[in-house]
Each structure stands twice: as structure tokens, then as C-alpha cells.
Structure 1
Amino acid sequence: MTADPHAPVSNPHSLFRRKPIGQTPPPEQQLSRSIGTFQLTMFGVGATVGTGIFFVLSSAVPEAGPAVVVSFLLAGVAAGLAAICYAEMASSVPVSGSTYSYAYATLGEIVAMGVAACLLLEYGVSTAAVAVGWSGYLNEALANLTGIELPHAILAAPWDAEPGVVNLPAVVLVGLCALLLIRGASESAKVNAVMVIIKLAVLGMFSIIAFTAFDSDNFADFAPFGAAGIATAAGTIFFSFIGLDAVSTAGDEVKDPQKTMPRALIAALLTVIAIYLLVAFSAIGAQPWQDFEGQTEAGLSRILEIVTGNNIWGTVLAIGAVISIFSVTLVTMYGQTRILFAMGRDGMLPKVFAKVSPRTHTPTNNTIIVAIIVAILAAIVPLDYLVDVVSIGTLTAFIVVSVGVLILRYREPDLPRGFKVPGFPVTPVLSILACGYILISLHWYTWLIFLLWVAVFIVFYLVYGRRHSALRPGLRDGSDEGADE
């Protein structure tokens, strides 16, 4: 008799036991399926557009010059290859937990914990980074509307270039998102969809106005820092593509996930790339690339003020950014709570992370815990220290998904799939190579922070996770037997 390749191994200390695909959790650990294709697409767009465009240009343009347009395209191609792999994996393993759950089903338990470290780092840090950037737009909008500027002491972290005391608006934003998430996933998805539509309309307005001041001379010195600068900027920009992963965290709350998730992933990807290229091209056409450095606060608003000679359109953009960046924070917080939920359900974290509110059918405990940690990060850590750390986690997660597609195709060729990667096996291999190329361009200290963080998680797994795993012998239908591949 052939052993089930996904069954847990008989050795209780096996590091590579895999979670069976299609395993149904108990009713008290199930979430309500209430999210449709459009709302899920808006999750992806909402988590992505905002982080990359509203303030990362100030970091990426000085690294690549006008060639940052190529950097956006490079990051978009790499993300696109990964998104196609995500689409197949999401249709094959339609559960919450994103890459963590995919790694658990294909590569084994200890690998899944390493991936979880990447995901929690990228979601936690990106949420904090976006909240920090939101403060600048809030201050811009208030100043233009009322003439009152918030004190610098409550707008900057203690270790920022211009030190403050605490970034209070960032903390308030995290608190508001937490309250909305506690109310329920369906309510959060509806509010997010409205905010995303506002966001796209505002960015469309920016591009139209910026093109009225388009100067081709701004592209004359196209790649002042060569291919290395383009790759470095692409790594920075990749920070923004976390939204594509956020779609896959909703597996337990999506209607007809095997069809809905691939459609939402592809639709979100195409929307995001189109918006990024349009805004980046129009922004550089309207302003010399040297002027982007230092525009960390409300950069796009300042471009409109320069182009039009008044602050009316800049104020509109700032208000739009205040509303729309809210959606980025909302979705990335949502994603992190669902990853923690999947880990708690698997026994990798204490059971408090797997508890579901009987009233709202959401993991309320997770939302509160995430909100507290992210608020502390946003309050005291400068944005510049956060961006690249997110990129390395995102890229690692994308590589794991691509590897998972290769493994699952060969290990489970007859597994029902709502979507299949075209050009297999070339596409997932190209995804791995593209993400790997961007990875090696990141700064050494980013790698150091990343490796230390993953090491902490692996130690936690060895001490706690493997001893409490839901797959340890005797816990799964009374069966201890399986295959160790």
C-alpha cells in the first residue's frame, strides 16, 4: 500500500512533515466565506498601490534616476511571474496563511516556519512603514485646508533625520484599522473597495496634471547609476508588491476560492503595474529626478503644487492619499492577522492565535496583538530603515511560491487546480531567477537583519512549534503513520 505523501511522518521530531492538502479544520476554527472576486481584487490593489507610488519614489528615483521606470517594470515583471505562480498555488491550496500554508503543504514544517518569519516581518514592517508615510500626507492636507501644521514632535520618530518624539498620526491610523478589522472581514472589504476607487481616481488626476508639464529633457541622463542602480531601485520598489501576497491570505474567507483567487491575483497585478508605470513616467516628466531626493513627505502633492502654481490640486491629492493609504494599512494588517491565525490553527503558535470571535467570525485577538506591535514600530522607527527589510521578505516569499508550484506539479499532478501556470516549468523558474536577481542587489545590513529574524523564528519552532504541531503523531485522526520523503 502506497503511503500518503502528505501524511505526517511517524517520527515526532521530523522537521519536514507536511500538512495534508484539503484538511478541514474544526468548526470553531473556521472563518466565514464572504469575499467575492471584485472585493478580493481591491484587496490586492489596495495593499499595493499606495506604498509604491505615494512615497517610495523619493527612495527609488535617487537610486536609479529616470531609469526608475525600468526598475518599476523589472519589479513588475518579477512580481508578475510570481503572481502567476501564486494564482496556481492559491487555486490548489485555497486556505488562509498565504506562502506559509503553501510551504507547509510542499516543503515541510520547518521551511514553513522560516517562510512565516519572512511574512510576519514583511507585513508588520510594511504596515508600520505605510503608517509613517501616511503622517506626511495628513499633515499636508491639514496645512492646506486649515493652515495648521501638526508639531514636528508628533510627526517623527526619535531616531529620524530630524528627530521627533513619537509619530502619533501613524499610531492613530493603526488603531482605526484595527477597529474596522474587528468589526468583520466583509465590512473591511467593502470599505477597502471604496477607498481603492478613490485612490485610483486621485492617481489618474495626478498623471493628467503632471503630463501638462512634461519635459523630455528630464529623461536625458536616463540611467546615471547604470544597471546596478536600476536593480537596487527595483529591490526598493518590490516593497510595494506585498499586496499580491495579501490576496492569498484570504483563502478561508473567499467564495469559490479555486476560481476567485486566481482571477483576483491577475486582475490586481495588471491594475497595479499599469498605475505604477503611468504615475512614475508622468512624475519624472514633470520634475527633474534630482529633486526627488528628500521628498519623503507628500512628494506627489508637492509636484502638483510646482506644476500648477497653487496648492489646490496638491491638497486634493493629499486628501486622496490620506484616504487611500488607509486601505494599504487595513489590508496588510488583515494579512498578518490571517497568517497568525493559520499558524495558531496548526499549533505553531499558542492557541490564542487560532481563536475566532463567535460574533464577527474574525480572529480578534490577532488584530489586537498586531495593532499594538505595529503601532510601536510606526511610532518610533524611521521609514528609511524599514523599506528594504520588507523587500527581502516579499522576494523570499515569492521564490518559495514558485518552488512550491514546481514541487506540487510533480508530486501531485492530478490535484484539482482552478488555474495552471502557462509555460510550465519555464515560468516558475524565471520567477525564481528574477526574484533572486533583485535579492542579491539588496544591502548587506538588510540581509543581516533578515537572517537574524529568521534564526529567531527557527529557534522558536525547535523549542515550541514542533512540540505543539497539529501534525504530531496521535493528533491527526489517531493516525501516526505516514511517509517521510
Structure 2
Amino acid sequence: MANQLFARKSIDKLSADAFSEGAHNLKRTLGPGNLIALGVGAIIGTGIFVLTGSAAAQYTGPAIVLAFILAGLGCAFAGLCYAEFASMIPIAGSAYTYGYATLGEFVAWIIGWDLILEYLFGAATVAVGWSGYVVSFLRDFGINIPPQWSNAVGVEMVQDPETGAWTRITEQLITNFAEKGIDISTLPHATGMFNLVATIAIALVTVLLVIGMSESAKFNNIAVLIKVGVVILFIMAGANYLFGHRAEAATNWTPFIPENKGGFGEYGWSGIIRAAGVIFFAYIGFDAVSTTAQEAKNPQKDMPIGILGSLVICTILYILVSGILTAMVHYSQLNVAEPIAIGIEKTGYTFLRDLIKIGAIAGLSSVMLVMLMSQPRIFYTMSKDGLLPPIFGKLHPKFKTPHVSTILTGAICAVVAGAFSVDELGHLVSIGTLLAFVIVCAGVWYLRVKEPNRPRPFKTPLVPLVPILGILVCLGMMAGLPAETWYRLLGWMAIGIIIYFVYGKKHSVIRKENNL
């Protein structure tokens, strides 16, 4: 029974399949620049434009900088392990395929099912953030989208009398209004019915992905240039402001680590750990590069460049942005949908406000694109292995894209994006991704012991130290997440295991080949 559950794929056969040509294979069009851009496109998004503010306000204060460093450290260890696997096994399945080649079929299925949390639910989370910035941008031009159709089901909101913006009701918001002498019960209220704006965003990105990979990559490259340019503008404007307001910056950064309020995650060092787990969502994306391995021109050389290059660039930008933002604006004021725009208004460069929002919209668009590009490629690979029905592996005769799984992914994602809020989705995405990273780190360590002489175009340094540190840091961030997130993860995994034993186990290609 154990041999059946943990049957492994041949790495040699995987490598041979990766470089085979034919009508049923993905088209190789991506170079190292495209891969770095895809990574940056996936990483810089909701984390920097949305979660930075809410995590600082709720968990860390100015110490959000330390939370980003901790989360980035965990990603660095995992990124090195991903780079080794991506160069050895340059195939579209990412962590799913790496698990299949090292730890066996059942573990591979667990990862594949788990990756749905990262990519499909991740795209839905980003779409909700995209909706917030689009609504805010249109409001600046006098176009007001009803809050009932730009928020998740059941979300209670109130209209800010100063800005006219609709804001989610929280205890902190009630306190802030009370300090200004405003009774929140006297303000206009609304309840979210369905986030139609987020749904439309997912639909548009899905159409683009069906048309083709090269077209999607071109769109992504443009979006990445816009959002990186906007992030750099924010850093320059913020730094210039702080040089002239050093006393204000010192006040906002004092204390750097706010005193813990008595519960785990309520500021203090436990707040930093919890925030690292939450903002880990901000780093999700570098691993998405590995799902395009069969569309890279020279994957053995270029995949490590794409993965590690995008991770380094984004980590530097995150640390600078979070530090400058919390120095300009007191952290208690940052629990809003567009914290970067709040920071720009503080500088006095109000002409940059709309530019920041355009950059955020472009940035979030590219994240949705990469996430929705990655998920169908996981389904494509799982279908080829017999663990999912053959329709998931079908390619469009003209565009050579997995169009059926792309459309299905987009349809489900659109419904999820419309029905749920960022908070509900974000934690689930983070814990699912962290679990995948733990398994990838364990796989590299296992394979070094099992097959030490296998050729590795890129080698993770300091094995087993790096994989062990990757496992420990990721498990630590998982432990910092709320208990209800763990319950949802366990429930999701239980559903996946049932599907595996009902369908996947019976149709597995490797089982048929090995007569298991």
C-alpha cells in the first residue's frame, strides 16, 4: 500500500519530456528577462499596495520592516530550493512535479491540491484589492460605483464624511471616528452584495491568457514597468519628505516595536511573527516562475535567474516602502484599502496620487495574470499524470494554451473574488503556500541524500542547512497564523484527499505503467 501511495516519477523521463517537441506541448517563448518580469509581476501587488498598511496597523507598527525581512528570509531559503528543482526538472508542474519526483504520488497530489490555495485563491484575493483601487480611482473623477457591488457578500461599510470613501467597519474605525467627535451610527451605511468589479477583472485576464502566452507576457512586461516605476517614485517622494521632517519620522517610529497588548499577535515580537505569516502573501509569486518552465527557451539556466532575481528585487523594494510609509504616516492610520496613496497625500505631492493608483491597478493586474496563468498549468500537468480528467490537459489548437482549464479556473476565481473579502482569502493563501514551500525544501534535502550524484545545473548552497532553515522559518510563520486558518486548511486538504482516492488513484498513469 505504501509503495502505491508513494510511487515516484523518473527524473530522467521528466527531463526528456520537458524538452520534447510536438503539437501537444507548450510553446517556448520566454527568456530570462521575461521570467524575472513574470516573477516581479506576480510578487509586487496586494502585499505592497494593500497589506503593508493593514499589517502595520493591526500587528507590528513600524516593525513591519522586520516582518518583511523575516518573510523574505523564509522565501530566500525556499527560493534557493525551487531554483535547484527548476533547473533539474524544467517542467510546468512546479512544486507538484518536484514532489512527484522525490516524495511520491500522494505527496504530489497534496501539493497540487494545496497550490490551488496559492494560485486560484491568490488571484481572487488580488482581484479584491484591484477592485478597491479602481473604485477609488474612478471616485476621483466623480464616478461612484455602488459599494454593494464593489465589496464581498455581507461586508458592513460606512461612508467617510471627509473623503466620501466607503470603508469597512472595524473596532479601530469606530474609535477613530469617535476621537473626531463623529458618531458612526449617524453616517450612511451599506452592506456588500457581490464584488462585481473584481469579477470583471478576473474575466478580462482570463480572456487574455486564453489568447496566448507571448501576448500575456507582453502585457505583463508593460504592467511591471508601470508599477515598479510608481513604487520607485513613492520611495523617492517619501524619502524627500522625510529628509525635511526628521522629527515627525522619529515620532512615528517610536516605539519601533509597540508593546504587546496581552494576546499573541497584538504587537510586540509575536505581532512581528504573525505579520510575517500574513504579509508572506506579499512574496507569493516567485515560485510561479517555475510553472512556466516548459515555455522557457533555456530553462536550466534561466529558471534560477528568474526565481532568485525577482525575489531579490522585490525584497529590497518592500523593505524601503514599508519603512518610508510608517515613518511618514502613523501606523494606526494605515488600515485602509490604499495605504500607499495615503502616504503620497502626506508628502504634498498630490499630483502623484492618481499615478500611484494607476500603478497599483497595473501592478495588481499583472499579479492576477501570473496567478491565473500558473494554476491551469498545474492542472495541465496533473491531467497528463491521470490525476485529473483529460479535459484539463487539452491545448487550444491555435493558441497552444490550456484553454479549458484556464476558463474553468477563471470562472471559479471570478465567483470567489466576488463573494469573499481580502481578509478571508489572504490567510488561507498564505498557509497554503507556506505548506508547499515546506515540502519543496524537504524534497531538495531528501533528493540530495537519495541521489547525491545526479547532475544539478543549479545547486542550493549549504545543504541540508538551507532546506532545514527554510522548513523551520515557514513552519514558524504558519504557526503564527490564526487557528481558524488552520481549520480551513485541514478541511480543504480533507476534500482533496477524498478526490484523490475516488478519482486520481484509479486513473494514475504511473500506477498503470508500474502495474500498481
- Normalization by structure 2: what TM-score? 0.87
* Aligned equivalent of 1:279: 321
Find the aligned partners of 2:444 and 2:153 in 1 and give their Cα distance. Answer: 44
User: Offset at 1:480?
Assistant: 4.1
**How far apart, in 1, do the equivalents of 2:423 and 2:156 lie?**
10
Report whether the alignment pairs 1:113 with 2:109: yes
**Deviation (angstroms), 1:414:** 2.4
CA distance in 2, matches of 1:28, 1:446: 42
In structure 1, the partner of 2:413 is 374
Q: Equivalents in 1 of 2:2, 2:344: separation in Å?
A: 61
Letter in 2 for 1:18: R
The match for 1:3 is: none
Aligned mates of 2:283, 2:493 — CA distance in 1: 21
Q: 2:496 aligns with which of 446, 457, 463?
A: 457
Of 112, 137, 146, the match for 1:151: 146
Q: CA deviation at 1:141?
A: 1.6
Counterpart check, 1:20 vs 2:41: no
User: For residue 172 of structure 1, what is the aligned residue in structure 2?
Assistant: 200
1:40 matched residue in structure 2: 35
Over the aligned positions, Cα root-mean-square deviation in angstroms equals: 1.6
1:7 corresponding residue in structure 2 = none
Q: Distance in 2 between matches of 1:246 and 1:18?
A: 23
Deviations for 1:359-401, whole angstroms, at most 9, x for unmatched residues? Answer: 1111000110011000001111111111111111111111111
Q: CA deviation at 1:350?
A: 0.3
* Counterpart residue type for residue 42 of structure 2: A
What is the aligned-residue identity percentage?
40
Within 2, Cα distance between the matches of 1:22 and 1:59?
46
Matched, 1:359 2:398: yes
Structure 2, gaps ≥5 residues long: 158-190, 243-248, 259-266
Query: Which of 76, 83, 90 is the equivalent residue of 1:80?
Result: 76
Pairwise CA distance, 1:151 = 1.5
- Preserved contact between residue 128 and residue 422 of structure 2 (Cα < 8 Å): yes
**Deviation of residue 58 (structure 1)?**
2.9
Distance 1:306 1:298, change over 3 A: same
Equivalent pair of 1:337/1:370 in contact (CA under 8 Å): yes
Alignment of 1:343-354 (within 5 A): 343-354=382-393
Say which SS state the counterpart of residue 189 (structure 1) adopts: helix
Is 2:127 the counterpart of 1:131?
A: yes
1:229 aligns with 2:271: yes
Amino acid at match of 1:206: F
Q: Are 1:300 and 2:330 an aligned pair?
A: no
- Runs of 4 or more, structure 1, over 3 Å off, are 24-29
Q: Residues 92 and 415 of structure 1 are in contact (CA less than 8 Å); yes or no, is this contact kept in structure 2?
A: no
1:93 and 2:89 matched: yes
TM-score normalised to the size of structure 1? 0.93
Shift in Å, 1:222: 1.2
Displacement after TM superposition at 1:326 (Å): 0.4
Quote the Cα distance in structure 2 between the aligned partners of 1:251 and 1:468. 25
Q: Which residue of 1 aligns with 2:165?
A: none
| 2:227 aligned residue (196, 199, 211) | 199
Compare 276-285 and 406-415 and name the one that shifted more. Answer: 406-415
Give how far 1:29 is off: 3.5
Read off the aligned partner of 2:234 and give its amino acid letter.
F
Matched length? 463
SS in 2 for 1:249: helix
Q: Deviations over 1:143-193 (max 9, x none)?
A: 22x222211122111222322222111111111111111111121112101
> Following TM superposition, by how much is the alpha carbon of 1:234 offset from its aligned partner in structure 2, in angstroms?
0.2
Cα distance in 2 for residues equivalent to 1:396 and 1:239: 13
- Aligned equivalent of 1:408: 447
- What SS does the aligned partner of 1:471 have? helix
Q: Which amino acid aligns with 1:421?
A: T
Q: Could you say what secondary structure the match of 2:294 adopts?
A: helix
Query: Which residues of structure 1 form unaligned runs of 5+?
Result: 1-10
Conservation of the 8 A alpha-carbon contact between 2:156 and 2:192: no
